[in-house]
Structure 1
Amino acid sequence: MAHQHTRTIVLGSLAALGCETLYGLSYIFTKQATNSASPIALLGWRFLIAFIVMTGLIIAGVIHVNLAGKKLQPLLLVAIFDPVLYFIGETFGISHTTASESGVFLACIPVAALLASALILHKYPSRQQIIGILITLIGVIITVIAAGASASLSIIGYLFLFLAVVTYALYSVYVEKAEAYTGIEITYIMLAAGAIVFVVMALGESLIHGNLQSLLSLPMTNKRFTIAVLYQGISSSVLALFLSNYAIAKIGVNKTASFIGVSTVVSIVAGILLLGEAFSSTQLIGAVVIICGVYTANNTFHLK
């Protein structure tokens, strides 16, 4: 029994680590794609490709989805929180604020997830988890401020970022409550909802600006955009969402939330190695603090 419990924790932790690594690497592809297309166009193509890929895997029998006799309401609630409301909040929040501001706001997600878990699931984090997540939060704030502290004072932007923080926390909680569904079933409904909402938004945006043909031909005419949406659609959507849902099912909201800062470290390293971005000693300190926070939240020792 103890061996099985340890195996569950290890697999759940590896899934959370893998998910945040994929999200951290997506920064590179997002940066390249948004140079030639709007964020909404990227989201539309991203979730459409993800939905098509996962549907193909289901048809081929590689993965299995069986929703017969199961209520869809809990899954739709999860999908509304993430990806729909979360990505609307993140996308428009980032576009109306500075990189440092959005980074600090989104770094609050683990804290919001702890509060949501306590209030809705009545699962209270240990003192060790709270300390670890707060250390991670401090590390992320140090890192994003070191990258360039500036303020937009955009109330609209702050409200959208607040929406992203709250809805991601609620997604984490309601995924844990969706015990009747497999991680693959939850992921598939999330991708379907994302595809419907963001494709409609992308089409609406292109019609307003009179560039529908440009939107439809983007993957055929822009190699960087194509590579970006393939990575975003397959790795950052299908695989990362499955890993996230799996991690929450295995180790719960509180432990999964403690890994969120890892994506910040991965994005910094990827920016240095692949884009040749500058790296300061303060960012290094922030990255070390993040890793210490994740270790503290997930180590087996107990604080008294």
Structure 2
Amino acid sequence: MSTLESGAGERTPDGGRAASDTSTGERVVGVRTLLPLFSLVAVTAVWGGTFVVVKDAVSQAPTMDFLAMRFLIATAALAALRPSRVTTLSRAGVKRGILLGMALGVAYIAQTFGLEHTSASLSGFITGMLVVFTPVIAGLVLRQRIGKVTWTAVAIAVAGLGLMTVHEFAVGPGELLTLVCAVFLALHIVGLGVWSPGHDAHALTVVQLAVAACICFAFGWWDGIDLPSDGGFWLALVGTAVIATAAAYVIQTWAQARLSLPQAAVVLTLEPVFACIFGVVFDHDELTTRIVIGGALVVGAMYLAELRSGSR
């Protein structure tokens, strides 16, 4: 059966498929998906934590300048760490990395400009709609049937995100740009799911981040790159570049070679949940009942997308 649900948990660590026609086989496959699953959860926790850091950093410098330098430092750090890995990437891998980087760069730029015309909470909700677009795009591009359990998990995740973030809804240029961001993030997730199993995660990530850096520089260079000399700003910039960008995208690329597209999409909706947690702990945001219930729904959606049946 060629469904998005049936593909979940079937990839082995080397990107192949594992047979699971016995209960023992199903348990082995389930264990093999735990490490990439929790690794991707850790990535969303890091991204959620950066909201507090980045909010302070971009108040001191133009957002596009910050993004351009963030991607540039991340690319340089990864390339310097394992320079030989990049040269081993095949021509097909380079082309795919370029396409993935373009999707990533456009998503960040659309979200950045969208934030100038909409609230952060509504931006978070619309960006989280990638959980809807991912199975739809996968179904159209890969011609795979979207299962009922997948749609159930998607609906629960969207309801949880909406409960957490949406206080009032309006459609304007900011919302439309953020919707573009969600579509391109979904394209990035689908592309990683299809292409990452056949390529080195480190090398593929370097190409992605380099392309994203070039795109951000193209948008920020026209009025010059203007960054402050403040030590706290550069600590935030380097920290987000090395940890939340370089390391995080290597882990995401590696994990998505071992998870299904619906699993990855639903797990990534945990980012606003962690953002709320860090906001409450470090930025003194109010912890409301809406946030608690909404976060529980998103976590429940992730659980449903991972397990899918009582035998797993």
Q: What is the TM-score of this pair, normalised by structure 2?
A: 0.84
Q: Residue 172 of structure 1 is aligned with which of 162, 165, 189? A: 189
Q: Give 1:190's aligned residue.
A: 208
Distance 1:75 1:100, change over 3 A: same
1:6 equivalent in alignment to 2:24: no
Alpha-carbon shift at residue 203 of structure 1 (Å): 2.4
Q: Give 2:69's aligned residue.
A: 45
Could you give the per-residue CA deviations for residues 42-96 of structure 1, whole angstroms, max 9, x where no partner exists? 101111110111111024x7x66512554532221111111x1111111111221
Partners of 1:229 and 1:300 in 2: how far apart?
Answer: 39
1:75 equivalent in alignment to 2:97: yes
Could you give the per-residue CA deviations for residues 88-116 of structure 1, whole angstroms, max 9, x where no partner exists? 11111122112232122112111100101
Q: Give 2:6's aligned residue.
A: none
Give the secondary-structure state (helix, strand or coil) at the position aligned to 1:129: helix
Partners of 2:232 and 2:162 in 1: how far apart?
Answer: 31
1:139 equivalent in alignment to 2:156: no
Q: Give 1:209's aligned residue.
A: none
1:202 equivalent in alignment to 2:220: yes
1:241 equivalent in alignment to 2:249: yes
1:298 equivalent in alignment to 2:312: no
Q: Give 1:56's aligned residue.
A: 80
Partners of 1:45 and 1:81 in 2: how far apart?
Answer: 18
Alpha-carbon shift at residue 301 of structure 1 (Å): 2.1
Could you give the per-residue CA deviations for residues 156-192 of structure 1, whole angstroms, max 9, x where no partner exists? 2222112111111111122222243122122111111
Q: Give 1:98's aligned residue.
A: 119
Q: Give 1:110's aligned residue.
A: 131
Alpha-carbon shift at residue 133 of structure 1 (Å): 2.1
Name the aligned partner's letter for residue 271 of structure 2.
S
**Residues 97, 204 of structure 2: 8 Å contact kept:** yes
Name the aligned partner's letter for residue 163 of structure 1.
V
Partners of 2:133 and 2:90 in 1: how far apart?
Answer: 34
Partners of 1:102 and 1:49 in 2: how far apart?
Answer: 26
Q: Residue 57 of structure 2 is aligned with which of 12, 22, 33? A: 33
Runs of at least 5 residues in structure 1 that lack an aligned partner in the other structure = 207-211
**Residues 97, 151 of structure 1: 8 Å contact kept:** no
Runs of at least 5 residues in structure 2 that lack an aligned partner in the other structure = 1-17, 19-24
Partners of 1:131 and 1:254 in 2: how far apart?
Answer: 11
Partners of 1:299 and 1:113 in 2: how far apart?
Answer: 19
**Residues 8, 251 of structure 1: 8 Å contact kept:** no
Distance 1:284 1:65, change over 3 A: farther
Q: Residue 277 of structure 2 is aligned with which of 263, 269, 274? A: 269
**Residues 97, 205 of structure 2: 8 Å contact kept:** no
Q: Residue 66 of structure 1 is aligned with which of 78, 81, 88? A: 88
Partners of 2:171 and 2:37 in 1: how far apart?
Answer: 37
Q: Residue 294 of structure 2 is aligned with which of 282, 286, 290? A: 286
Q: Give 2:45's aligned residue.
A: 21
Distance 1:53 1:172, change over 3 A: same
Q: Which moved more, 1:94-103 or 1:20-29?
A: 94-103
Alpha-carbon shift at residue 124 of structure 1 (Å): 3.2
Partners of 1:52 and 1:140 in 2: how far apart?
Answer: 35
Q: How many residues are paired up?
A: 286
Alpha-carbon shift at residue 151 of structure 1 (Å): 5.1
Partners of 1:133 and 1:255 in 2: how far apart?
Answer: 10
Alpha-carbon shift at residue 41 of structure 1 (Å): 1.4
